[in-house]
Amino acid sequence: MFEVIERDGLGRIGKLTLGKRTLETPALLPVINPNKILVSPREMAERFGCQALITNSYIIRRTPELKEKSLSGGLHKLLDFDGPIMTDSGTFQAHVYGHVDVTNKEIVEFQRDIGSDIGTILDIFSEPRDDKAIALKAVEENLARGREAVALRGEMALAGPIQGGVYRDARENCAREMSKLDFEIHPVGGIVPLMESYRFSDLVHAVASAKKGLTLARPVHAFGAGHPMVFPLLALLGCDMFDSASYAKFAAD
Protein backbone atom coordinates (compact mmCIF):
# COMPACT_ATOMS: atom_id res chain seq x y z
CA MET A 1 0.00 0.00 0.00
CA PHE A 2 1.26 3.48 -0.90
CA GLU A 3 0.27 6.50 1.16
CA VAL A 4 1.03 10.06 0.02
CA ILE A 5 1.88 12.12 3.10
CA GLU A 6 2.75 15.45 1.52
CA ARG A 7 2.76 16.84 -2.00
CA ASP A 8 4.23 19.77 -3.89
CA GLY A 9 3.28 19.79 -7.56
CA LEU A 10 4.06 16.32 -8.87
CA GLY A 11 6.70 15.80 -6.18
CA ARG A 12 5.56 13.93 -3.09
CA ILE A 13 6.62 12.36 0.19
CA GLY A 14 5.07 8.96 0.76
CA LYS A 15 5.15 5.69 2.65
CA LEU A 16 5.19 2.35 0.90
CA THR A 17 4.15 -0.64 3.02
CA LEU A 18 5.43 -4.05 1.91
CA GLY A 19 4.12 -6.66 4.33
CA LYS A 20 5.87 -5.89 7.64
CA ARG A 21 8.44 -3.62 5.98
CA THR A 22 8.00 0.06 5.14
CA LEU A 23 9.84 2.51 2.94
CA GLU A 24 9.65 6.30 3.06
CA THR A 25 9.79 7.93 -0.34
CA PRO A 26 11.49 9.53 -2.20
CA ALA A 27 14.02 6.75 -1.71
CA LEU A 28 17.34 5.87 -3.29
CA LEU A 29 18.01 2.13 -3.57
CA PRO A 30 21.72 1.34 -3.91
CA VAL A 31 22.39 -1.43 -6.42
CA ILE A 32 24.07 -4.43 -4.81
CA ASN A 33 25.98 -6.74 -7.14
CA PRO A 34 25.94 -10.02 -5.17
CA ASN A 35 29.12 -11.14 -6.92
CA LYS A 36 31.01 -7.94 -6.10
CA ILE A 37 29.90 -6.38 -2.83
CA LEU A 38 32.08 -3.31 -2.29
CA VAL A 39 30.01 -1.86 0.56
CA SER A 40 28.05 -4.43 2.54
CA PRO A 41 24.28 -4.08 2.79
CA ARG A 42 24.60 -4.02 6.58
CA GLU A 43 26.99 -1.05 6.35
CA MET A 44 24.64 0.60 3.88
CA ALA A 45 21.94 0.48 6.54
CA GLU A 46 23.95 1.20 9.70
CA ARG A 47 26.43 3.77 8.42
CA PHE A 48 24.59 5.43 5.57
CA GLY A 49 20.96 5.11 6.67
CA CYS A 50 19.92 3.13 3.61
CA GLN A 51 16.26 2.04 3.86
CA ALA A 52 16.11 -0.38 0.93
CA LEU A 53 18.27 -2.10 -1.68
CA ILE A 54 17.94 -3.40 -5.20
CA THR A 55 19.80 -6.43 -6.51
CA ASN A 56 19.67 -8.49 -9.67
CA SER A 57 17.79 -11.77 -9.49
CA TYR A 58 19.12 -12.82 -12.90
CA ILE A 59 22.72 -12.66 -11.65
CA ILE A 60 21.78 -14.57 -8.49
CA ARG A 61 19.93 -17.24 -10.48
CA ARG A 62 22.78 -17.87 -12.92
CA THR A 63 25.41 -18.09 -10.15
CA PRO A 64 25.05 -21.62 -8.66
CA GLU A 65 26.30 -20.80 -5.14
CA LEU A 66 24.12 -17.68 -4.84
CA LYS A 67 21.12 -19.47 -6.30
CA GLU A 68 21.38 -22.30 -3.78
CA LYS A 69 21.86 -19.95 -0.81
CA SER A 70 18.99 -17.66 -1.80
CA LEU A 71 16.56 -20.55 -2.33
CA SER A 72 17.49 -22.25 0.94
CA GLY A 73 17.84 -19.24 3.24
CA GLY A 74 16.12 -16.43 1.42
CA LEU A 75 17.28 -13.18 -0.17
CA HIS A 76 17.45 -11.18 3.07
CA LYS A 77 19.76 -13.72 4.69
CA LEU A 78 21.90 -13.87 1.55
CA LEU A 79 22.47 -10.10 1.62
CA ASP A 80 22.31 -9.72 5.42
CA PHE A 81 19.77 -6.91 5.15
CA ASP A 82 16.48 -6.53 7.04
CA GLY A 83 14.91 -3.73 5.02
CA PRO A 84 12.92 -3.99 1.79
CA ILE A 85 14.78 -5.56 -1.12
CA MET A 86 13.74 -5.02 -4.73
CA THR A 87 14.99 -7.32 -7.48
CA ASP A 88 15.53 -6.60 -11.15
CA SER A 89 14.89 -9.34 -13.67
CA GLY A 90 17.67 -9.24 -16.26
CA THR A 91 16.13 -6.68 -18.59
CA PHE A 92 19.16 -4.38 -18.38
CA GLN A 93 21.48 -7.32 -19.08
CA ALA A 94 19.43 -8.01 -22.21
CA HIS A 95 19.91 -4.35 -23.19
CA VAL A 96 23.68 -4.58 -22.67
CA TYR A 97 24.38 -8.08 -24.02
CA GLY A 98 21.43 -8.60 -26.38
CA HIS A 99 20.02 -11.71 -24.70
CA VAL A 100 19.32 -13.40 -21.38
CA ASP A 101 18.79 -17.14 -20.97
CA VAL A 102 15.65 -16.98 -18.84
CA THR A 103 11.94 -16.52 -19.46
CA ASN A 104 9.60 -14.06 -17.80
CA LYS A 105 7.81 -16.92 -16.01
CA GLU A 106 11.06 -18.42 -14.71
CA ILE A 107 12.49 -15.17 -13.35
CA VAL A 108 9.25 -14.02 -11.71
CA GLU A 109 8.85 -17.39 -9.98
CA PHE A 110 12.49 -17.26 -8.86
CA GLN A 111 12.09 -13.79 -7.36
CA ARG A 112 8.99 -15.00 -5.53
CA ASP A 113 10.74 -18.12 -4.24
CA ILE A 114 13.77 -16.27 -2.81
CA GLY A 115 11.57 -13.83 -0.89
CA SER A 116 12.01 -10.61 -2.83
CA ASP A 117 9.87 -7.80 -1.42
CA ILE A 118 9.43 -6.26 -4.88
CA GLY A 119 9.91 -8.40 -7.97
CA THR A 120 10.09 -7.12 -11.54
CA ILE A 121 8.80 -8.64 -14.74
CA LEU A 122 11.25 -9.44 -17.54
CA ASP A 123 10.20 -6.56 -19.77
CA ILE A 124 11.63 -5.69 -23.17
CA PHE A 125 13.97 -2.70 -23.05
CA SER A 126 12.98 -0.20 -25.75
CA GLU A 127 16.04 1.50 -27.20
CA PRO A 128 15.95 5.21 -28.17
CA ARG A 129 16.90 4.21 -31.73
CA ASP A 130 13.94 1.82 -32.11
CA ASP A 131 11.34 2.90 -34.62
CA LYS A 132 7.78 3.30 -33.44
CA ALA A 133 6.56 -0.07 -34.74
CA ILE A 134 9.23 -1.87 -32.72
CA ALA A 135 8.45 0.18 -29.61
CA LEU A 136 4.72 -0.51 -29.89
CA LYS A 137 5.31 -4.23 -30.38
CA ALA A 138 7.48 -4.25 -27.25
CA VAL A 139 4.72 -2.52 -25.29
CA GLU A 140 2.22 -5.21 -26.27
CA GLU A 141 4.64 -7.97 -25.29
CA ASN A 142 5.38 -6.28 -21.97
CA LEU A 143 1.67 -6.07 -21.19
CA ALA A 144 1.33 -9.79 -21.92
CA ARG A 145 4.28 -10.52 -19.65
CA GLY A 146 2.73 -8.32 -16.98
CA ARG A 147 -0.50 -10.30 -17.06
CA GLU A 148 1.49 -13.53 -16.83
CA ALA A 149 3.55 -12.26 -13.89
CA VAL A 150 0.55 -11.09 -11.87
CA ALA A 151 -0.75 -14.67 -11.82
CA LEU A 152 2.62 -16.01 -10.56
CA ARG A 153 3.55 -13.44 -7.92
CA GLY A 154 2.21 -15.08 -4.77
CA GLU A 155 2.59 -12.61 -1.85
CA MET A 156 5.41 -10.69 -3.54
CA ALA A 157 4.84 -7.06 -4.55
CA LEU A 158 5.36 -6.63 -8.26
CA ALA A 159 6.82 -3.89 -10.46
CA GLY A 160 5.37 -3.29 -13.92
CA PRO A 161 7.80 -1.17 -15.98
CA ILE A 162 6.67 1.47 -18.44
CA GLN A 163 8.40 1.27 -21.81
CA GLY A 164 7.73 2.89 -25.17
CA GLY A 165 11.05 4.35 -26.25
CA VAL A 166 11.01 8.05 -27.14
CA TYR A 167 7.36 7.91 -28.28
CA ARG A 168 5.16 9.83 -25.86
CA ASP A 169 1.86 8.26 -26.87
CA ALA A 170 3.39 4.76 -26.59
CA ARG A 171 4.63 5.55 -23.08
CA GLU A 172 1.28 6.98 -22.02
CA ASN A 173 -0.67 4.04 -23.43
CA CYS A 174 1.71 1.52 -21.82
CA ALA A 175 1.26 3.30 -18.48
CA ARG A 176 -2.52 3.38 -18.78
CA GLU A 177 -2.73 -0.34 -19.56
CA MET A 178 -0.18 -1.32 -16.90
CA SER A 179 -2.22 0.64 -14.36
CA LYS A 180 -5.12 -1.73 -15.00
CA LEU A 181 -3.05 -4.69 -13.80
CA ASP A 182 -2.37 -5.66 -10.18
CA PHE A 183 1.05 -4.05 -9.67
CA GLU A 184 2.37 -2.16 -6.64
CA ILE A 185 5.09 -0.11 -8.36
CA HIS A 186 5.69 1.22 -11.85
CA PRO A 187 9.29 1.81 -12.92
CA VAL A 188 9.97 3.99 -15.95
CA GLY A 189 12.31 1.83 -18.00
CA GLY A 190 14.58 2.39 -20.97
CA ILE A 191 15.84 5.78 -19.75
CA VAL A 192 19.49 4.98 -19.01
CA PRO A 193 20.64 5.66 -22.61
CA LEU A 194 18.85 9.02 -22.47
CA MET A 195 20.69 10.01 -19.30
CA GLU A 196 24.03 8.71 -20.55
CA SER A 197 23.75 10.84 -23.70
CA TYR A 198 22.42 13.91 -21.83
CA ARG A 199 19.09 13.83 -23.66
CA PHE A 200 17.29 15.46 -20.76
CA SER A 201 14.40 16.74 -22.85
CA ASP A 202 13.62 13.19 -23.98
CA LEU A 203 14.04 12.00 -20.37
CA VAL A 204 11.49 14.54 -19.14
CA HIS A 205 9.01 13.57 -21.87
CA ALA A 206 9.46 9.85 -21.15
CA VAL A 207 8.69 10.32 -17.44
CA ALA A 208 5.94 12.89 -17.96
CA SER A 209 4.20 10.72 -20.56
CA ALA A 210 4.31 7.74 -18.20
CA LYS A 211 2.92 9.84 -15.35
CA LYS A 212 0.02 10.99 -17.55
CA GLY A 213 -1.14 7.40 -17.98
CA LEU A 214 -0.32 6.01 -14.54
CA THR A 215 -2.58 5.80 -11.53
CA LEU A 216 -1.56 8.24 -8.78
CA ALA A 217 -2.06 5.50 -6.18
CA ARG A 218 1.25 3.74 -6.92
CA PRO A 219 4.86 4.87 -6.56
CA VAL A 220 6.97 5.49 -9.66
CA HIS A 221 10.54 4.21 -9.87
CA ALA A 222 13.12 5.75 -12.23
CA PHE A 223 15.24 2.79 -13.34
CA GLY A 224 18.98 3.51 -13.40
CA ALA A 225 18.69 7.14 -12.30
CA GLY A 226 22.06 7.05 -10.61
CA HIS A 227 23.54 10.53 -10.85
CA PRO A 228 22.70 13.15 -8.20
CA MET A 229 22.11 15.80 -10.86
CA VAL A 230 18.94 14.07 -12.05
CA PHE A 231 17.35 13.32 -8.66
CA PRO A 232 15.75 16.77 -8.15
CA LEU A 233 14.45 16.83 -11.72
CA LEU A 234 12.90 13.37 -11.48
CA ALA A 235 11.45 14.05 -8.02
CA LEU A 236 9.83 17.19 -9.43
CA LEU A 237 8.32 15.04 -12.18
CA GLY A 238 6.78 12.73 -9.58
CA CYS A 239 9.27 9.87 -9.31
CA ASP A 240 9.30 8.27 -5.86
CA MET A 241 12.15 5.76 -6.10
CA PHE A 242 15.54 5.60 -7.78
CA ASP A 243 18.31 3.01 -8.05
CA SER A 244 22.00 3.59 -8.46
CA ALA A 245 25.29 1.73 -8.81
CA SER A 246 27.14 5.01 -9.19
CA TYR A 247 28.69 4.83 -5.73
CA ALA A 248 30.58 1.74 -6.92
CA LYS A 249 31.22 2.76 -10.52
CA PHE A 250 32.58 6.21 -9.69
CA ALA A 251 34.84 4.76 -6.98
CA ALA A 252 36.18 1.86 -9.06
CA ASP A 253 39.20 3.77 -10.36
Active site members:
88
Contacts of 154 (CB under 8 A, 6+ apart): 112
